[in-house]
Amino acid sequence: DAAVPKTAWQWVESAQYRLLRAGAHRALSCVDLLVCACAAIHGLVVLHDDKDFVVAAQHLPDLAERRVHSLPGIT
């Protein structure tokens, strides 16, 4: 469990700006951005099967992501 911090929306706003500047602003939904915010603020890794999180991590250096299909033992 990771609570949604009060600063999450500030992180989302900053992330949207950085993604806009990179031309990747259409990649993530509001929910995706909130998941990213919670993970980044709490120092967690987003485990996913969604290419949008890969795009996000390319432009948001404080976000860590890992595709579940790239984990050992998962096909």
With respect to residue 45, please indicate whether it lies within any of the assigned structural domains: yes
User: Cα–Cα distances in Å, from 54 out to 19, 47, 58, 62?
Assistant: 12, 10, 6, 13
Question: pLDDT band at residue 74, thresholds of 50, 70 and 90?
Answer: low
The pLDDT tens digits for 4-62 are 999 999 999 999 999 999 998 788 999 999 999 999 999 999 999 999 999 999 999 99
Please check whether residue 53 lies inside any domain of the structure.
yes
- Domain-located, residue 60: yes
- Locate 74 and state its tokens: 């998962």
Q: Which domain holds residue 11?
A: 7-67
DSSP assignment of 26-58 equals TS--HHHHHHHHHHHHHT-EEEES-HHHHHHHH
The pLDDT value given to residue 25? 77
Quick check: is 72 in a domain? no
Whether 59 maps to a domain, the answer reads: yes
What pLDDT band is residue 75 in, cutting at 50, 70 and 90? low
Rounded CA-CA distance 72/35 in Å is: 24
In a domain, 17, yes or no: yes
Residue 1 within any structural domain of the chain:
no
Structural domain includes residue 2 = no
**Which tokens sit at 9?**
């929306």
Are 48 and 70 within 8 A, CB to CB?
no
Residue 73 has pLDDT above 90, yes or no: no
Measured in whole angstroms, how far is the alpha carbon of residue 32 from the centre of its chain?
6
Residue 1 has pLDDT above 80, yes or no: yes
- In the chain, how many domains are there? 1
